[in-house]
Amino acid sequence: MTTITPDSYLAALPSDQQRALGALRQQLRALLPDAVEVMSYAMPGFRLGKKMVAGYAGFAKHCGLYPHSGGIIPQITDEIDALGFKWSKSGVLFTPAHPLPETLVDRIVALRLAEIGA
């Protein structure tokens, strides 16, 4: 049985998703220097202690950023809508051609860190 790692997960994606999610991964790594990079819920992500902070994933027609909380995205739906991204309670969807702005990623991570008391 092969263990899936964040590196192998990204390597299996189309090249445009590899680039987009690779950039998101680097931003998350910079925002969360003390976090451990793990696979959780079949997606790469970052954990502080026992709490997942954020995960990301690639799908057939989009990518997503998931703050592992149903309470984060609903707080900022107006911001997300104004930027033209689709969202659900659990995450924000984007395409490699239209990646998430760094400021939005920063905001999502900051809200999640505040929520978990980090």
The domain spans of the chain are 6-116
CATH number for the domain whose boundaries are 6-116: 3.90.1150.200
Burial class (CB in 10 A: 0-12, 13-18, 19+), 56: buried
Q: Going along the chain, which residue ranges are E strands? A: 36-40, 43-48, 51-58, 63-66, 86-88, 91-94
pTM: 0.94
91 closest CA partner among 63, 117, 115: 63
Per-residue pLDDT in tens (0 to 9) along the chain, 118 residues: 678 999 999 999 999 999 999 999 999 999 999 999 999 989 999 999 999 999 999 999 999 999 999 999 999 999 999 999 999 999 999 999 999 999 999 999 999 999 998 6
